[in-house]
A and B are shown apart, each in its own frame.
Chain A
């Protein structure tokens, strides 16, 4: 039994383009953008329900994202929910910047545009026990 000592080498003179191609599915970009939005910003999504019916606002869920690809350039549309009150312009600008940087960094696809729709705002919840402190 012999152990190969050197990795198999490509035939000489073969072009890099002929070795194959790597395809990144659009869905991967959408999930990456959603995950970045959830993990690295204040944005949330919706959870539960069936076919979008009965879903509820959830700040720990991934926001919805859709991607349009043109070559190596992507345009994203993200639908998010945010805590309330929060400065919406600043928060969404931070979200846009973060998604642009991280998706480009993680996937190599250049994100040109991120359109954001704020679909719900979640005010702070009261004490679930319904009790209030006497002052």
Chain B
């Protein structure tokens, strides 16, 4: 059995994997999720308030980004903006890509705010900005929290795409380790286990959050 799985190698690989997990994988996930959350909201509001031709152009751009591979977008930005570090490019591209998903979620959230709320703000002669900030967004965003969490998890599992632009995230660290030892099984399996241990409990928590928010909404 020792031929297949070498515990010494596994214990040697683990700290390296965890180190790149903390410094790259988690960093990209957290910062890009924040970008996606804010930029997605901006895109959704723009789409609803811009004049029609501009809104249609914006919709096409959003669809184009959504329907093309993030891997190609990463490589494209990597060659196009050589002055920016690959890690920063990764964070920005992941943020923009997932913002286009979030824009759809926010749009559904905004549309689910009852019409009476809009009418009430008119009756109270609120300004347009105040209507969005004080009335619409707080109600729309509530329902989008679980979706944001789910996208954060899929982004987390897509961070290995960063190895295409030379960022040493967890899987790349595992591959380098495997290449040095001519044995891949320990490092790559452990990388998978770390993904599983981090994402499964989180998705269970989000499922529970979803139920709670659904009931009180």
Q: Do A and B bind each other?
A: no
